[in-house]
Structure 1
Amino acid sequence: MFNENLSITKTKSNRLKQARRGIKRKLKIRLKKWHNYPEPRFATQGSFTTGTMIRNERDWCDLDMGIYFFQDLDLTYGSIQKHIKEALFDHTNGEVKLLSKCIRVVYSNDFHIDMPIYLVKEQGVFLLGSKSNNWTRCDSKKFKDWVKKEAADNDQLIRIIRYFKAWADRYRTSKSIKMPSGLVFTIWTVQHYESNIRDDISFIKTATHILKELKSSWICEMPVETKDNVLEKLNDDQQDNFKEALKELIKKGYEALTQDDKAKSLKIWKSMLGRRFTDII
């Protein structure tokens, strides 16, 4: 089954866990020893916690792990990032990148781990750090809880999210076109999901609803704090390219659904979803 083929292998899962443990251990020891930091806490977040993680066609995946400090640090966001990078200098054969809202630790030809930084204030206020030393209220657990609530007892909804992410990965790779993030596809799928006894019909019906929404509004608002538009990174040309890609998906999807010959139908699906595709009926 296609859904099963999208899952990371047990071996890769074990490597992810080992890498995560190593990061925690080094940061706890080195940040305290080198810069007198309070001991940070860590929480896995993102697609791993909602069951929507996939490995792409290159057998690559990513993991999100928040770093939390429960007392004020008299440091800028940039300084904290720099200290964390220094603490992980010998952790991997890949590189450690400083991105706008996280630190990315790359494990060559395998996976990467993104680590956003949070300051936790009294009354459970979580502040997410970003470049220019901005700290914005954001609690990743609220999004995880939102997805889990919306997808409660609905395995098909989770599968449809994974199909969209796999299609986007395939299209991005084959066409060299920027696509919306997995976060965006998760929100869209939850909001526009149409159930069906068959996954292939549900997938295309949901895609049709998403396209209808995009014709009137190019906004995908986070359903929880901070309520920002997570589509802002795509410019006008990239938006147009994505709409055309979605139209193509819907057109070919309906073509596959109306084939009398199952082999021809599967060939169409495989052209859109990639080599791991077998069957989603």
Structure 2
Amino acid sequence: MAVLNKEYNKFDKEIKLNDSRKESLKKSRKELRKKIKKWFKENKPNEIKPKFGSQGSFEMNTTVNPIVVKDDEGNSLKKYDLDDGVYFIYKNEEDTKQSINTWHDWIFKATENHTGKDSIRKTTCVRVVFANGHHIDLPIYYKEDGVIELAHKSKGWLESDPKEFYEWFNDKKKTRSRLEAIVRCLKAWKNFRETNNTNLNLPSGFELTILATNNYVEADNLDEAFRETVKAIDAELNRYNGFKCYRPTTPSNEDVFENYSETRKSNFLNTLRSLKNDCIKASEESNFKIASEILRNNQFGIRFPLGEDKDEKFKSNSLKKSLGAAMVKPKPYGY
């Protein structure tokens, strides 16, 4: 059995957001915050001033480098995403809780043409798209008497505290040593599969994070931990009435899979089963190169490294010989 721990760790290093990219995204976020503050100061000086709070995968260290794609003009796009909550905090009776559409309109106007592109109105946020393909989503919140509500354009005001989620995840990973890496690998898997098949609509990174955390399996190496966690997720979702994914934070007991169509549900389960089966198949292959090719060709793409063209038995014997030689005590001088 070929253990691809080295290959998985190299893959994780390849897809993990590096420090320079983090700083670039932080700079984009900082400039956008400045523009929003400036717009409110100039256009709504008597209204509540916006505050900001970073959230999502950036705060959990699970953001991944996306596969580079080309636009219609042949330009390379890197579709990173960043979530930055915009908060309006009630302080006194002079503050006004505007309608959801008003808050959205104000943030849209505050960010308009920030990057030379129009901002995009979404149901839960305003999206600002940058030239290189990355975007920043700006969900809007109102906080009064300690209660935080999301301005959802179709569902109204929803009690929601995104800080709770990343604190929940960061607490869980203290006792789950490979959780971060497993989530990144799942996101990279989603990225590859959806890039290859644009009809696929796999669960969001948020949903995959919940599934991985709730079904995490500890193991001695990343290869086994990832495989066993995927198997656990598959088993959980395929048990009787088991296709559910509950939000672990506010709003409590919300099934984030509730609105999945039968087609989307079926596509996800089939794609997940394919991943599980290939993980098992790779683990049963003795040759490192062949085992890595199974995952590289079908599940992760060329960013997943090729293993050596050697069998596990050969590698194990070589390692034993090396260790044996190292343990032989040298004879005394002049023996």
Match of residue 81, structure 1, among 75, 79, 104: 104
In structure 2, do the counterparts of structure 1 residues 279 and 144 end up closer, same or farther at CA, with 3 Å as the change threshold? farther
5+ residue gaps, structure 1, are none
Is 1:278 the counterpart of 2:305 in the alignment? Answer: yes
* Distance 1:279-1:46 versus aligned 2 partners, 3 A rule: farther
> 2:171 aligned with 1:146, yes or no?
no
Residue 74 of structure 1 deviates from its aligned partner by 4.1
Task: Specify whether residues 10 and 136 from structure 1 end up closer, same or farther in structure 2 by C-alpha distance, changes over 3 A only.
Answer: same
Moved more, 97-106 or 23-32: 23-32
Matching residue of 1:55: 65
The CA deviation at 1:258 is: 1.0
Q: How does 1:83-232 map to 2 (within 5 A)?
A: 83-122=106-145, 124-132=146-154, 134-176=156-198, 177-215=200-238, 216=240, 217-227=242-252, 228-232=254-258
Identical aligned pairs, as a percentage? 28
> For residue 45 of structure 1, what is the aligned residue in structure 2?
55
Aligned match of 1:6: 15
Unaligned segments of structure 2, at least 5 residues: 1-9, 69-77, 308-335
In 1, the alpha carbon distance for the partners of 2:243 and 2:131 equals: 35
Residues 105-125 of structure 1: per-residue CA shift (max 9 Å, x gap)? 111333111111111111x21
> What letter is aligned with 1:225?
T
Letter in 1 for 2:49: E
Partners of 2:225 and 2:306 lie apart in 1 by 14
What whole-Å deviation, never above 9, does each CA across 1:148-186 have from its counterpart, x for those lacking one?
111115341110011111111111111221100001110
TM norm structure 2: 0.79
Q: Look up the equivalent residue of 1:162 and give its one-letter code.
A: R
Provide the secondary structure at the position in 1 that maps to 2:251.
coil
Larger Rg: 2
Q: Letter of the aligned partner of 2:59 in structure 1?
A: T
- Correspondence for 1:246: 272
What is the deviation of 1:229? 1.5
Q: 1:166 to 1:253 in 2, by over 3 A?
A: same
Q: Is the 8 A contact 2:125 2:140 kept in 1?
A: yes
Once residues 275 and 155 of structure 2 are traced to their aligned partners in structure 1, the CA distance between those partners, rounded to angstroms, is 41
Q: How far apart in 2 are the matches of 1:278 and 1:93?
A: 38
* Cα distance in structure 2, aligned partners of 1:269 and 1:103: 37
TM-score, with length taken from structure 1? 0.94
Deviation of the 1:233 alpha carbon: 4.1
Partner SS state of residue 178, structure 1: coil
3-state secondary structure, aligned to 1:42: strand
- Aligned mates of 1:232, 1:81 — CA distance in 2: 25
How far apart are the structure 1 equivalents of 2:118 and 2:255?
Answer: 30
Question: Tell me, what secondary structure is at the counterpart of 2:29?
Answer: helix
AA at the equivalent of 2:285: Q
Q: CA deviation at 1:230?
A: 1.4
Residue type at the aligned position of 1:131: K
RMSD: 1.7
CA distance in 2, matches of 1:275, 1:263: 13
Q: Partners in 1 of 2:116 and 2:180 — Cα distance?
A: 33
Structure 1 window deviating more from structure 2 (260-269 vs 151-160): it is 151-160
